A and B are shown apart, each in its own frame.
Chain A
Amino acid sequence: MMSLISIAGLSVRFATRSECVRAVDTVDLEIARGDHLALIGESGCGKTVLGMAVMGLLPENALIRGTIRYRERDLLQAEDAEMQRIRGKEIAMIMQNTASSLNPVIPVGIQVSEPILLHRILPAKAVQAEAIRLLGAMGFDLPERAACRYPHEFSGGMQERILVAIALACRPDIVIADEPTSGLDAEVKSQILHLIKKQMADRTLLLITHDLGTARFLCTRVAVMYAGEIVEEGPAHDLLSLPLHPYTQGLLASLPSAGLHPIPGMSPSPSHLPDGCRFCSRCPSATARCSTEHPRMSVRGARRVRCFHYA
Chain B
Amino acid sequence: MLELSSVMKYYEKGFFRRHRTTAIDNVSLSVRKGETLGLVGESGSGKTTLGRIALRLIEPSSGMVRFDGIKVTTLSRSALRQLRPRMQIVFQDPDTALNPRMTVHDCVAEPLTIWHLAGPREIEDRIPELLELVGLQPDLAARFPFEISGGQKQRVALARVLALNPEFIVADEPTAALDLSVQAQILGLLKDIQQKRNLTLLFISHDLQVIEKMSDTIAVMHAGKIVERGRTPEIFSNPQNPYTARLVAAARASEAWFGKNPR
Decide if A and B touch, CB cutoff 8 A: yes
Q: Are A256 and B207 in contact, with the CB atoms below 8 A?
A: yes
CB distance from A200 to the nearest CB of B (A): 18
Are B213 and A258 in contact (CB-based, < 8 A)?
no
A214 to B187, alpha carbons, bound, how many Å? 22
| A88 neighbours in B (Cβ, 8 Å) | none
Q: Is the CB of A190 within 8 A of B257?
A: no
Question: How far, in Å, is B201 (CB) from chain A's closest CB?
Answer: 15
Residues of B close to A263: CB separation below 8 A: 181, 184-185
Q: B185, A252: Cβ atoms under 8 Å?
A: no
In the bound complex, do residue B184 and residue A254 qualify as a contact, i.e. CB atoms below 8 Å apart?
Answer: yes
A selection of 13 A-B contacts at a CB cut-off of 8 Å is A213-B257, A240-B262, A241-B262, A253-B262, A254-B180, A254-B181, A256-B210, A260-B187, A261-B184, A262-B181, A262-B182, A262-B185, A263-B181
Q: How far is the CB of A144 from chain B (nearest CB, A)?
A: 28
Question: Which label, helix, strand, loop or mixed, suits the secondary structure of the B interface?
Answer: helix
Least Cβ–Cβ distance between B185 and chain A, in angstroms: 4
A186 vs B9: C-alpha distance when bound (angstroms): 25
* Contact call B206/A185, Cβ cutoff below 8 A: yes
Contact with A along B203-229 (1 / 0, CB 8 A): 000110110110000000000000000
* Selected contact of B180 from candidates A212, A216, A266, CB within 8 Å: A212
B250–A190 contact, CB under 8 A? Answer: yes
**Do B188 and A249 touch across chains, with their CB atoms under 8 A apart?**
no
Contact A258 B258 (CB under 8 A): yes
State whether A210 and B262 are in contact (beta carbons under 8 Å apart), knowing that A256-B207, A256-B213 are contacts in the complex: no
B154 to chain A, nearest CB (A): 13
Flag if B42 contacts A42 (CB, 8 Å): no
Q: How far is the CA of A101 from the CA of B49 in the complex (A)?
A: 28
Is B77's beta carbon under 8 Å from chain A?
Answer: no
Interface flag for B165 (CB, 8 Å):
no
* Shortest Cβ distance from residue B73 to the other chain A in the assembled complex, whole angstroms: 30
Query: For the complex, is B261 an interface residue (Cβ under 8 Å from A)?
Result: yes
In this complex, what residue of A is CB-closest to B254? Answer: A213
Is A217 touching B262 in the complex (CB atoms < 8 A)? Answer: no
A110 surroundings in chain B (CB, below 8 A): none
Interface range on chain A: under 10, 10 to 19, 20 to 34, or 35 or more? 20 to 34
B181 near A258 with CB under 8 A, answer no
Whether, in the assembled complex, B196 has its beta carbon less than 8 Å from a beta carbon of chain A, the answer is: no
A164 to B172, alpha carbons, bound, how many Å? 31
A63 within 8 A of B: no
Nearest B residue to A217, CB-CB: B257
A254 to B188, CA, bound (A): 10
Q: Are A187 and B42 in contact (CB under 8 A)?
A: yes
- B contact residues around A252 at 8 Å (CB): 258, 262-263
With both beta carbons as reference points, the residue of chain B lying nearest to A237 in the complex is identified as: B257
Contact with A along B26-54 (1 / 0, CB 8 A): 00000000000000001100000000000
Q: Does B150 contact A (CB under 8 A)?
A: yes
Chain B residues with CB under 8 Å of A260's CB are: 183-184, 187-188, 210, 213
B259 at the interface (CB under 8 A from A): yes
B228-263 CB mask vs A (1 if < 8 Å, else 0) is 000000000000000000110010001101110111
Question: Taking CB as reference atom, which chain A residue is nearest B255?
Answer: A257
B257 touches A216 (CB 8 A): yes
Inside 8 A of B213's CB, which chain A residues have their CB? 256, 259-260
Q: Are B184 and A262 in contact (CB under 8 A)?
A: yes
Pair A266/B151 contact, Cβ less than 8 Å: yes
CA gap between A261 and B263 in the complex, in Å: 11
Identify the closest chain B residue to A45 (Cβ).
B179
Residues of B186-204 at the interface with A, using a CB-CB cut-off of 8 Å, are 187-188
State whether the Cβ of A311 lies closer than 8 Å to any Cβ in chain B. no
Is A242 interfacial (CB 8 A cutoff)?
A: yes
Residues of B within 8 A of A257 (CB): 209, 254-255, 258
Compute how far the CA of A216 lies from the CA of B255 in the bound complex, rounded to whole angstroms. Answer: 11
Contact B180 A255 (CB under 8 A): yes
Determine whether A77 belongs to the interface, using a CB cutoff of 8 Å to chain B: no
